Structure 1
Amino acid sequence: MKVDTMRAIDRYVGIPLCFAVSWAFRIKEKLFRPKAQKPKKVLFVELSEMGSAILADPAMRWLKEQGCELHFVIFKSNAVSLDLLKTIPSDNIYTIRSDSFVTLTTDTLNFLKWCRKKGIDTVIDLELFSRVTSLMSRLSGAVNRVGYDGVHEEGLYRGNHLTHPVMYNPHMHISRNFMALVRAALQPAGEPYQRQLITQDEIDLARAEVSEKDQQKVIEKIRSLYPEFQPGKQRLMLVNPNASDLLPQRRWMADRFAEVIRTVLADYPDVLVVITGAPAEREGAESLKAAVNNHRCLNSAGVFLFNELVPLYSISALMVSNDSGPPHFASVTDLPTYVIFGPETPSLYGALGHSTPIYAGLACSPCVSAGNHRKTSCTDNQCLKAIYPEQVLNAIRPALDPVIVKTPVQSLEADLQKAQKAKTEEVS
């Protein structure tokens, strides 16, 4: 199903349904007031964003440490993102197909049965003001329902379904907003303001475990593309020129990616550039490879399975990417990532871990937000056109340039030479 179709369903079907369901439950709860219950079996709802499933992991781990059993519902196409850190057991993950309105409706109705079978008592809605997930939370049977509340914002109506409303803070990174939600779940129902400090330590990501066997499989696949590859002698620079259809305006121009790649290959003879992507993106990756026209530029779109990405990241030197899923997946490793932002802002959606944003910061950027359901009418993304290859090259060169480590003797000689030069200049 197209993204705009899902947005239309959420708006034109979701709003009247939210209104009707709110009043129906208001009448019911006047007659049968539900008993308060401490969260034990908690369900997270995040359907459409693979990266958000990674950004929410610190919050999920925190709640798990409080003794809660965790569950998750997500679109089937995005469920693989939960495999990276395995915080949620596979038996506790429910997937919904989004390929058509019929499968979406059928799976959602079955989801409501699944919630009752699992005994879900608490739902935490990670989506930003989605009406569909608001309805799913209300109809799940959970006593505690936690989610973002518009407070005094207008135009974000999605019913009165929350027992624990939380003010969404558009000036705070989304991982901290997620942490505010889980903290609210363990507090009495009440006002939406979370008067607590959330520190950087609390949102640090765990690291994925990578075996030498998995790394070796990845090395063999790279050798199938470039037989001369020798780990330790040649470095891998990953390039992700893709972005999902949710926001195609995030794509930096292909000719600029090509210029960056050509320059890197010319300046660093030990570097191999690996263009990554899904099978459906192979044609575009092949066009980029042809534009570069260098045997050390490889097209790996569709070559690596999702569970092979982390091993690939673990043996690579750096990644250059559009603002999309791969930098978030790479954040569970130590790989340095350089992410090109345009209609989004790194202040809210920057990848955790060793990530450097490249951002022009135009007056109109970001043009997508929680308030407009991350939809923009922009057809001329100057926010990305304002970023030139030289700026990207300047950002990544420190990761590519060799680090010269001085021995004590070399350091002493350098200091003496510097002092002698200063003395000579002073005399003259």
Structure 2
Amino acid sequence: MKVDSMRRVDFWVGVPLCALLTAVWWLWRRIRPAARATGRDILFIELSEMGSTILADPAMRRVQARFPDSRLFFLIFAANRPSLEITGTIPPEQVLTIRADTFLSLTLDTLRAIWTMRRLDLLAAIDLELFSRYSALLTFLSGAQKRVGFHRFHNEGLYRGELLTHRVAYNPHMHIAKNFLSLVEALSEPEDTVPFSKSVFSDEDIRLVPHVAEPAVLAAFRSRLIEAYPVLARHPRWIILNPNSSELMPLRRWPVARYLELARRLLEQEGVALLLTGTASERPEAEAIADQLGSERVVVLCGFTRLTELPLLYTLSEAMVTNDSGPAHFAAPSGLRTIVLFGPETPALYGALNPNARFVFAGLACSPCVSAANHRKSACTDPRCMTAITVEAVLAKLAS
């Protein structure tokens, strides 16, 4: 399904269902008061953003530390499942998926996921989504007695019922990884806390566990790359360019003309080879860029590397330039020097958890224009926040 179609379904179907289930739940609680929460399993729900699975990893690891006897489960859209394998915090057999390619598959898989969740021994369900009615409904229907998520309180709009037992105040001035930690902390705070969570988080709390590749695996991957693209053996300074962004927010794209200019400037440097990354469906666009550059030192890897192989590629590379999108976060555990271009969003909230990441943000008065309050949908027709980023600014960050 297209993103805008999913937003419409979330509003026109989600709001009435949240209101209906809120009324049913209120009546049920009058008849049968809540029993003491039992169970050992803890479920995270985050469906649509692959990068968010990396940003949520500190929260998941904190749950592991706080509840060592619990099994962690994760519910995610099927297309985004491989992103969980980058950190490996959730065992593959404990990942639940929902297909979202058509409305029929979405409906059928939703029913299947609810049936599966209710068979778990759930102590808690933690909704990582920002005010999605669909995820609120899934959290409620999971059967977990402790249901944690972001609540609007006195904010206008963003209605998704009164289905949570632990209502956390979303802080739009704090990094999203710390907001995710506040969801976890709510499970340990007194039940009558309003709002959750009254905690303090430092930058150390959201450090990722570094990814260290096994030497044999890394060597095998390098051999496979060089066998397919022998030019890489002669030019050992590999710099990744990721000119793509997901369908969720095409406004995040830096103009292709700027990537072409950047690539030409980088190719002037000795020993540099440029690697264009993306999904298999993005290969035609990447090939068009490579054709315009006309250099054997430009290699198109779209569809060549699996998502789970990206940490190996990042370990072998010198740097990456990317739009604000999933790869910026996928590279964080490897510590790759990464230049991330921000416009509609801000690095203050969504910066990669990578000490070697550098952010380029023009800081226009209208930027950032997307937030939880507008479900990350902008009215912008001219993304000058991206065109304001110059090639010189990117090169300066690469050199720093």
2:14 corresponds to which letter in structure 1?
G
Match of 1:156 in 2: 158
CA deviations on 1:39-61 (whole Å, 9 max, x unpaired) are 73110000000000100000100
Map 1:301-316 to 2 at 5 A.
Answer: 301-316=302-317
Match of 1:318 in 2: 319
TM-score computed with the length of structure 2 as normaliser: 0.96
Maintained 8 Å contact 1:121/1:141: no
Taking a change above 3 Å as real, the CA distance of residues 292 and 159 of structure 1, as seen in their structure-2 partners, is: same
How many angstroms does 1:277 deviate by? 0.9
Secondary structure, aligned partner of 2:233: coil
**Distance in structure 1 (CA, Å) of the matches to 2:39 and 2:204:** 24
Contact 2:44 2:125 in 1 (8 A): yes
Q: Which amino acid aligns with 1:13?
A: V
Q: Quote the offset at 1:225 in angstroms.
A: 4.6
Are positions 1:381 and 2:379 aligned together?
no
Secondary structure, aligned partner of 1:84: helix
Q: CA deviation at 1:193?
A: 4.0
8 A Cα contact 1:45 1:123, kept in partner? yes
Within a 5 Å distance, the mapping from 1:283-294 to structure 2 comes to 283-294=284-295
Give the structure with higher Rg (CA). 1
User: Aligned with 1:332: secondary structure?
Assistant: helix
Residues 1:205 and 2:208 are matched in the alignment: yes
In the alignment, the residues of structure 2 paired with residue 331 and residue 351 of structure 1 have an alpha-carbon distance, to the nearest angstrom, of 6
Report if the CA contact (8 A) 1:39-1:186 is conserved. Answer: no
Q: Does 1:394 align with 2:378?
A: no
Report the Cα distance in structure 1 between the residues aligned to 2:141 and 2:309, rounded to whole angstroms.
37
Please name the residue that 2:184 is paired with: 182
1:6 aligns with 2:6: yes
Aligned to 1:79: 81
- Gaps spanning 5+ residues in structure 1: where? 399-428
Contact 1:282/1:299 (8 A) holds in 2: yes
The CA RMSD over aligned residues, in Å, is 1.3
Give the structure 1 partner of residue 139 of structure 2.
137
Corresponding residue of 1:101: 103
1:178: Cα distance to partner? 0.3
Amino acid corresponding to residue 215 of structure 1 in structure 2: L
Q: Does 1:56 align with 2:56?
A: yes
SS at match of 2:13: helix
Alignment of 1:203-282 (within 5 A): 203-230=206-233, 234-266=236-268, 268-282=269-283
The question of 1:330 aligning with 2:319 is answered: no
Query: Are the aligned partners of 1:134 and 1:158 in contact in 2 as well (CA < 8 Å)?
Result: yes
Aligned to 1:404: none
How many positions carry a matched residue from both structures?
396
Structure 1's 39 and 173: CA in aligned 2 closer, same or farther, altered over 3 A?
farther
Corresponding position: 1:124 with 2:126: yes
Q: Distance in 2 between the 1:184 and 1:89 partners?
A: 24
The equivalent residue for 2:370 is 368
- CA distance in 1 between partners of 2:36 and 2:363 (Å): 46
Q: Deviations over 1:62-81 (max 9, x none)?
A: 11111232110000000101
- Percentage of identical aligned residues: 43
Q: Counterpart amino acid of 2:329?
A: H
Deviates more, 1:171-180 or 1:197-206: 197-206
TM-score, normalized by length of structure 1? 0.90
Provide runs of 4+ in structure 1 moved above 4 Å. Answer: none
Deviation at 1:365, TM superposition (A): 0.6
Structure 1: distance between partners of 2:280 and 2:118: 37
SS at match of 2:72: strand
Amino acid at match of 2:361: Y
CA contact (8 A) 1:336 1:355 kept: yes
**Structure 2: runs of 5+ lacking an equivalent:** none
Per-residue deviation at 1:113? 1.2
Specify whether residues 193 and 186 from structure 1 end up closer, same or farther in structure 2 by C-alpha distance, changes over 3 A only: closer
Of 136-145 and 192-201, deviating more is: 192-201
**SS across alignment from 1:83:** helix
Are 1:156 and 1:371, in contact at CA under 8 Å, matched by a contact in 2? Answer: yes
